[in-house]
Chains A and B, each alone.
Chain A
Protein backbone atom coordinates (compact mmCIF):
# COMPACT_ATOMS: atom_id res chain seq x y z
CA UNK A 1 0.00 0.00 0.00
CA UNK A 2 1.65 3.22 -1.09
CA UNK A 3 1.71 6.10 1.34
CA UNK A 4 -0.93 8.76 0.81
CA UNK A 5 -0.30 12.46 1.06
CA UNK A 6 -3.44 13.09 3.12
CA UNK A 7 -5.28 10.78 5.53
CA UNK A 8 -8.26 8.97 4.05
CA UNK A 9 -11.70 10.44 4.48
CA UNK A 10 -14.43 8.35 6.09
CA UNK A 11 -15.91 7.23 2.79
CA UNK A 12 -12.53 6.24 1.50
CA UNK A 13 -11.81 4.27 4.64
CA UNK A 14 -15.00 2.30 4.31
CA UNK A 15 -14.31 1.66 0.65
CA UNK A 16 -10.81 0.51 1.47
CA UNK A 17 -12.14 -1.89 4.10
CA UNK A 18 -14.66 -3.34 1.68
CA UNK A 19 -12.08 -3.83 -1.03
CA UNK A 20 -9.81 -5.71 1.30
CA UNK A 21 -12.55 -7.98 2.54
CA UNK A 22 -13.80 -8.56 -1.00
CA UNK A 23 -10.38 -9.62 -2.13
CA UNK A 24 -9.97 -12.06 0.73
CA UNK A 25 -13.37 -13.67 0.20
CA UNK A 26 -13.16 -13.91 -3.57
CA UNK A 27 -9.98 -15.93 -3.14
CA UNK A 28 -12.17 -18.74 -1.85
CA UNK A 29 -15.49 -18.12 -3.58
CA UNK A 30 -13.93 -18.23 -7.03
CA UNK A 31 -16.41 -20.23 -9.11
CA UNK A 32 -17.02 -19.06 -12.66
CA UNK A 33 -20.09 -19.37 -14.82
CA UNK A 34 -18.72 -22.60 -16.28
CA UNK A 35 -19.15 -24.34 -12.93
CA UNK A 36 -22.92 -23.86 -12.97
CA UNK A 37 -25.58 -25.50 -15.12
CA UNK A 38 -27.70 -22.46 -15.68
CA UNK A 39 -27.58 -18.73 -15.28
CA UNK A 40 -29.92 -18.65 -12.30
CA UNK A 41 -27.68 -20.83 -10.15
CA UNK A 42 -24.69 -18.66 -11.03
CA UNK A 43 -26.58 -15.54 -10.07
CA UNK A 44 -27.63 -17.15 -6.77
CA UNK A 45 -24.00 -17.90 -6.04
CA UNK A 46 -23.01 -14.34 -6.77
CA UNK A 47 -25.79 -13.04 -4.54
CA UNK A 48 -24.59 -15.28 -1.74
CA UNK A 49 -21.08 -13.91 -2.06
CA UNK A 50 -22.31 -10.33 -1.97
CA UNK A 51 -24.37 -11.06 1.12
CA UNK A 52 -21.36 -12.43 2.91
CA UNK A 53 -19.26 -9.42 2.00
CA UNK A 54 -22.02 -7.02 3.06
CA UNK A 55 -22.39 -8.77 6.39
CA UNK A 56 -18.73 -8.67 7.25
CA UNK A 57 -18.19 -5.08 6.14
CA UNK A 58 -21.12 -3.81 8.15
CA UNK A 59 -20.56 -6.08 11.18
CA UNK A 60 -23.85 -7.99 10.83
CA UNK A 61 -23.97 -11.59 12.11
CA UNK A 62 -20.23 -11.78 11.85
CA UNK A 63 -19.89 -15.12 13.59
CA UNK A 64 -22.54 -16.83 11.48
CA UNK A 65 -21.03 -15.64 8.24
CA UNK A 66 -17.55 -16.71 9.31
CA UNK A 67 -18.92 -20.18 10.08
CA UNK A 68 -20.46 -20.24 6.64
CA UNK A 69 -17.17 -19.36 5.01
CA UNK A 70 -15.32 -22.03 6.96
CA UNK A 71 -17.86 -24.67 5.96
CA UNK A 72 -17.71 -23.69 2.32
CA UNK A 73 -13.93 -23.77 2.36
CA UNK A 74 -13.78 -27.22 3.89
CA UNK A 75 -16.33 -28.69 1.51
CA UNK A 76 -14.93 -27.28 -1.73
CA UNK A 77 -11.17 -27.47 -1.29
CA UNK A 78 -10.59 -29.25 -4.55
CA UNK A 79 -12.83 -26.89 -6.48
CA UNK A 80 -11.08 -23.85 -5.10
CA UNK A 81 -7.62 -25.14 -5.98
CA UNK A 82 -8.74 -26.13 -9.46
CA UNK A 83 -10.28 -22.76 -10.14
CA UNK A 84 -7.20 -20.95 -8.95
CA UNK A 85 -4.97 -22.99 -11.26
CA UNK A 86 -7.30 -22.30 -14.17
CA UNK A 87 -7.24 -18.58 -13.51
CA UNK A 88 -3.43 -18.46 -13.38
CA UNK A 89 -3.23 -20.28 -16.70
CA UNK A 90 -5.52 -17.78 -18.33
CA UNK A 91 -3.53 -14.83 -17.05
CA UNK A 92 -0.29 -16.35 -18.28
CA UNK A 93 -1.72 -17.08 -21.74
CA UNK A 94 -3.00 -13.54 -22.11
CA UNK A 95 0.40 -12.15 -21.20
CA UNK A 96 2.12 -14.30 -23.81
CA UNK A 97 -0.28 -13.22 -26.53
CA UNK A 98 0.28 -9.58 -25.65
CA UNK A 99 4.05 -9.96 -25.80
CA UNK A 100 3.85 -11.70 -29.17
CA UNK A 101 1.75 -8.93 -30.57
CA UNK A 102 4.21 -6.28 -29.46
CA UNK A 103 7.06 -8.22 -31.05
CA UNK A 104 5.23 -8.58 -34.32
CA UNK A 105 4.45 -4.90 -34.42
CA UNK A 106 8.10 -3.99 -33.92
CA UNK A 107 9.18 -6.29 -36.71
CA UNK A 108 6.65 -4.74 -38.99
CA UNK A 109 7.92 -1.27 -38.21
CA UNK A 110 11.52 -2.30 -38.83
CA UNK A 111 10.51 -3.71 -42.17
CA UNK A 112 8.71 -0.56 -43.11
CA UNK A 113 11.73 1.62 -42.33
CA UNK A 114 14.17 -0.57 -44.18
CA UNK A 115 15.17 1.59 -47.11
CA UNK A 116 15.87 -1.20 -49.52
CA UNK A 117 12.47 -2.73 -49.03
CA UNK A 118 10.80 0.68 -49.18
CA UNK A 119 12.79 1.65 -52.21
CA UNK A 120 11.98 -1.57 -54.01
CA UNK A 121 8.38 -0.92 -53.33
CA UNK A 122 8.72 2.43 -55.06
CA UNK A 123 10.93 1.11 -57.88
CA UNK A 124 13.85 3.27 -56.94
CA UNK A 125 17.41 2.43 -57.84
CA UNK A 126 18.84 0.94 -54.67
CA UNK A 127 22.43 1.56 -55.72
CA UNK A 128 22.18 5.20 -54.62
CA UNK A 129 21.41 4.31 -51.01
CA UNK A 130 24.79 4.43 -49.21
CA UNK A 131 25.99 1.12 -47.83
CA UNK A 132 22.49 -0.33 -47.84
CA UNK A 133 22.71 0.23 -44.13
CA UNK A 134 19.62 0.60 -41.95
CA UNK A 135 18.72 4.15 -41.06
CA UNK A 136 19.84 5.50 -37.76
CA UNK A 137 16.38 5.86 -36.31
CA UNK A 138 15.38 2.21 -36.62
CA UNK A 139 14.10 0.97 -33.28
CA UNK A 140 16.67 -0.96 -31.32
CA UNK A 141 15.71 -4.22 -29.62
CA UNK A 142 14.25 -3.32 -26.27
CA UNK A 143 15.98 -5.29 -23.53
CA UNK A 144 13.65 -6.38 -20.78
CA UNK A 145 15.95 -6.20 -17.81
CA UNK A 146 19.32 -4.96 -16.67
CA UNK A 147 20.87 -8.46 -16.72
CA UNK A 148 20.14 -8.83 -20.39
CA UNK A 149 21.67 -5.43 -21.06
CA UNK A 150 24.82 -6.25 -19.10
CA UNK A 151 25.19 -9.65 -20.77
CA UNK A 152 24.75 -8.10 -24.20
CA UNK A 153 27.34 -5.41 -23.55
CA UNK A 154 29.84 -7.86 -22.12
CA UNK A 155 29.45 -10.29 -24.95
CA UNK A 156 30.06 -7.65 -27.56
CA UNK A 157 32.77 -5.93 -25.50
CA UNK A 158 30.92 -2.63 -25.42
CA UNK A 159 31.65 -0.13 -22.65
CA UNK A 160 29.08 2.56 -22.07
CA UNK A 161 30.71 5.69 -23.28
CA UNK A 162 29.12 9.02 -22.86
CA UNK A 163 30.50 11.94 -24.69
CA UNK A 164 31.17 15.17 -22.86
CA UNK A 165 28.33 16.73 -24.75
CA UNK A 166 25.87 14.07 -23.69
CA UNK A 167 26.89 14.52 -20.08
CA UNK A 168 26.40 18.25 -20.32
CA UNK A 169 22.99 17.78 -21.89
CA UNK A 170 21.95 15.50 -19.08
CA UNK A 171 23.18 17.93 -16.45
CA UNK A 172 21.42 20.81 -18.17
CA UNK A 173 18.15 18.90 -18.04
CA UNK A 174 18.67 18.69 -14.30
CA UNK A 175 19.26 22.43 -14.02
CA UNK A 176 23.01 22.30 -13.61
CA UNK A 177 25.86 23.36 -15.84
CA UNK A 178 29.21 21.70 -15.51
CA UNK A 179 31.01 25.02 -15.18
CA UNK A 180 29.05 26.15 -12.09
CA UNK A 181 31.63 24.92 -9.55
CA UNK A 182 34.49 26.67 -11.29
CA UNK A 183 32.52 29.89 -11.71
CA UNK A 184 31.50 29.87 -8.05
CA UNK A 185 35.08 29.23 -6.99
CA UNK A 186 36.37 32.01 -9.24
CA UNK A 187 33.85 34.47 -7.89
CA UNK A 188 34.78 33.67 -4.33
CA UNK A 189 38.51 33.78 -5.02
CA UNK A 190 38.65 37.01 -6.97
CA UNK A 191 36.28 38.90 -4.71
CA UNK A 192 38.02 38.08 -1.45
CA UNK A 193 41.63 39.00 -2.07
CA UNK A 194 41.28 42.73 -1.65
CA UNK A 195 38.47 43.89 0.58
CA UNK A 196 37.37 47.45 0.04
CA UNK A 197 36.50 48.99 3.36
CA UNK A 198 32.81 49.82 3.30
CA UNK A 199 31.79 52.80 5.36
Chain B
Protein backbone atom coordinates (compact mmCIF):
# COMPACT_ATOMS: atom_id res chain seq x y z
CA UNK B 1 0.00 0.00 0.00
CA UNK B 2 1.35 3.40 -0.86
CA UNK B 3 -0.12 6.58 0.35
CA UNK B 4 0.15 9.27 -2.23
CA UNK B 5 1.83 11.70 0.10
CA UNK B 6 2.64 14.39 -2.36
CA UNK B 7 -0.96 14.73 -3.25
CA UNK B 8 -2.18 14.72 0.28
CA UNK B 9 0.24 17.31 1.43
CA UNK B 10 -0.46 19.85 -1.23
CA UNK B 11 -1.04 23.29 0.17
CA UNK B 12 -4.67 23.98 0.69
CA UNK B 13 -5.94 27.31 -0.51
CA UNK B 14 -5.79 30.00 2.08
CA UNK B 15 -9.14 30.37 3.69
CA UNK B 16 -10.04 33.20 5.88
CA UNK B 17 -10.45 32.26 9.44
CA UNK B 18 -12.89 34.13 11.52
CA UNK B 19 -10.66 36.20 13.69
CA UNK B 20 -10.97 39.47 15.40
CA UNK B 21 -10.94 42.72 13.61
CA UNK B 22 -7.35 42.45 12.64
CA UNK B 23 -5.99 39.40 10.92
CA UNK B 24 -2.33 40.14 11.38
CA UNK B 25 0.20 42.91 11.77
CA UNK B 26 3.61 43.05 10.15
CA UNK B 27 6.47 45.45 10.63
CA UNK B 28 9.17 45.46 8.04
CA UNK B 29 11.97 47.67 6.90
CA UNK B 30 12.42 49.42 3.60
CA UNK B 31 14.76 46.62 2.65
CA UNK B 32 11.97 44.14 3.22
CA UNK B 33 13.35 42.70 6.47
CA UNK B 34 10.65 41.57 8.83
CA UNK B 35 10.91 43.29 12.19
CA UNK B 36 7.79 42.08 13.92
CA UNK B 37 4.89 39.85 13.07
CA UNK B 38 1.75 39.18 14.99
CA UNK B 39 -0.86 36.78 13.68
CA UNK B 40 -4.37 36.83 15.03
CA UNK B 41 -5.54 34.02 12.81
CA UNK B 42 -4.32 30.44 12.93
CA UNK B 43 -2.20 29.80 9.87
CA UNK B 44 0.61 27.41 9.23
CA UNK B 45 4.17 28.70 9.13
CA UNK B 46 4.29 28.07 5.44
CA UNK B 47 1.26 30.18 4.76
CA UNK B 48 2.52 32.91 7.03
CA UNK B 49 5.80 33.06 5.16
CA UNK B 50 4.05 33.12 1.84
CA UNK B 51 1.72 35.91 2.86
CA UNK B 52 4.56 37.89 4.39
CA UNK B 53 6.69 37.61 1.30
CA UNK B 54 3.89 38.57 -1.04
CA UNK B 55 2.74 41.48 1.05
CA UNK B 56 6.18 42.91 1.67
CA UNK B 57 6.80 42.88 -2.04
CA UNK B 58 3.45 44.43 -2.86
CA UNK B 59 3.71 47.18 -0.30
CA UNK B 60 7.31 48.05 -1.08
CA UNK B 61 6.45 48.29 -4.76
CA UNK B 62 3.93 51.02 -4.14
CA UNK B 63 4.88 54.57 -4.78
CA UNK B 64 5.27 56.91 -1.82
CA UNK B 65 2.35 59.14 -2.69
CA UNK B 66 -0.13 56.31 -3.01
CA UNK B 67 -2.93 55.80 -0.54
CA UNK B 68 -2.47 53.48 2.39
CA UNK B 69 -5.00 50.87 1.37
CA UNK B 70 -4.98 48.05 -1.03
CA UNK B 71 -7.17 45.10 -1.69
CA UNK B 72 -5.32 41.86 -1.46
CA UNK B 73 -6.96 38.48 -1.80
CA UNK B 74 -10.11 38.81 0.31
CA UNK B 75 -8.49 41.18 2.70
CA UNK B 76 -7.92 44.84 2.92
CA UNK B 77 -4.38 45.85 3.67
CA UNK B 78 -3.73 49.03 5.57
CA UNK B 79 -0.14 50.17 5.80
CA UNK B 80 1.79 53.20 6.77
CA UNK B 81 5.39 54.07 6.66
CA UNK B 82 7.13 55.64 9.61
CA UNK B 83 10.75 56.57 8.85
CA UNK B 84 12.34 53.38 7.57
CA UNK B 85 9.66 51.06 8.92
CA UNK B 86 6.44 49.92 7.32
CA UNK B 87 3.54 49.02 9.58
CA UNK B 88 1.13 46.81 7.76
CA UNK B 89 -2.18 45.36 8.95
CA UNK B 90 -4.73 43.12 7.31
CA UNK B 91 -8.40 43.60 8.03
CA UNK B 92 -11.57 42.09 6.71
CA UNK B 93 -13.83 43.49 4.07
CA UNK B 94 -16.30 45.02 6.52
CA UNK B 95 -13.70 46.70 8.66
CA UNK B 96 -12.84 50.34 8.89
CA UNK B 97 -9.59 51.34 7.22
CA UNK B 98 -9.30 54.64 9.00
CA UNK B 99 -9.59 53.18 12.46
CA UNK B 100 -6.90 50.68 11.49
CA UNK B 101 -4.66 53.54 10.51
CA UNK B 102 -5.38 55.02 13.89
CA UNK B 103 -4.43 51.75 15.54
CA UNK B 104 -1.14 51.73 13.70
CA UNK B 105 -0.52 55.30 14.67
CA UNK B 106 -1.43 54.61 18.26
CA UNK B 107 1.01 51.73 18.36
CA UNK B 108 3.76 53.91 16.96
CA UNK B 109 3.01 56.50 19.59
CA UNK B 110 3.23 53.86 22.28
CA UNK B 111 6.58 52.65 20.98
CA UNK B 112 7.72 56.21 20.84
CA UNK B 113 6.72 56.91 24.40
CA UNK B 114 8.25 53.70 25.69
CA UNK B 115 11.57 53.89 23.92
CA UNK B 116 11.73 57.68 23.72
CA UNK B 117 11.67 58.64 20.06
CA UNK B 118 11.78 55.13 18.78
CA UNK B 119 13.92 54.06 15.86
CA UNK B 120 14.17 50.86 13.94
CA UNK B 121 17.15 49.71 16.00
CA UNK B 122 15.15 49.93 19.22
CA UNK B 123 12.68 47.50 17.79
CA UNK B 124 15.38 45.20 16.48
CA UNK B 125 17.29 44.99 19.74
CA UNK B 126 14.26 44.97 22.00
CA UNK B 127 11.90 43.10 19.79
CA UNK B 128 10.34 41.31 22.74
CA UNK B 129 9.42 44.65 24.29
CA UNK B 130 7.76 45.71 21.08
CA UNK B 131 5.67 42.56 21.30
CA UNK B 132 4.82 43.14 24.94
CA UNK B 133 3.59 46.62 24.14
CA UNK B 134 1.54 45.36 21.22
CA UNK B 135 0.06 42.65 23.42
CA UNK B 136 -1.05 45.20 25.96
CA UNK B 137 -2.62 47.30 23.23
CA UNK B 138 -4.29 44.65 21.10
CA UNK B 139 -5.55 41.25 22.11
CA UNK B 140 -6.71 38.71 19.61
CA UNK B 141 -6.84 41.43 16.98
CA UNK B 142 -9.11 43.68 18.98
CA UNK B 143 -8.20 46.92 20.65
CA UNK B 144 -7.86 46.07 24.28
CA UNK B 145 -6.94 49.39 25.78
CA UNK B 146 -7.68 52.70 24.16
CA UNK B 147 -5.86 54.73 26.75
CA UNK B 148 -2.16 55.18 26.01
CA UNK B 149 -1.52 55.93 29.64
CA UNK B 150 -2.96 52.63 30.77
CA UNK B 151 -0.99 50.61 28.27
CA UNK B 152 2.27 52.21 29.31
CA UNK B 153 1.42 51.83 32.96
CA UNK B 154 0.83 48.10 32.52
CA UNK B 155 4.09 47.68 30.64
CA UNK B 156 6.06 49.65 33.20
CA UNK B 157 4.70 47.64 36.06
CA UNK B 158 5.40 44.37 34.33
CA UNK B 159 8.91 45.59 33.61
CA UNK B 160 9.29 46.50 37.23
CA UNK B 161 8.30 42.99 38.17
CA UNK B 162 10.89 41.70 35.77
CA UNK B 163 13.64 43.84 37.28
CA UNK B 164 12.78 42.74 40.80
CA UNK B 165 13.07 39.20 39.65
CA UNK B 166 16.38 39.88 38.02
CA UNK B 167 18.11 41.62 40.89
CA UNK B 168 19.02 38.54 42.92
CA UNK B 169 20.74 37.04 39.96
CA UNK B 170 23.02 40.00 39.47
CA UNK B 171 23.96 39.83 43.14
CA UNK B 172 24.84 36.20 42.69
CA UNK B 173 26.79 37.05 39.66
CA UNK B 174 28.78 39.57 41.59
CA UNK B 175 29.54 36.97 44.20
CA UNK B 176 30.64 34.68 41.48
CA UNK B 177 32.88 37.32 40.08
CA UNK B 178 34.48 38.94 43.08
Q: Real complex partners, A and B?
A: no
**Residue ranges of A at the interface with B (Cβ–Cβ < 8 Å):** none
**Residue ranges of B at the interface with A (Cβ–Cβ < 8 Å):** none
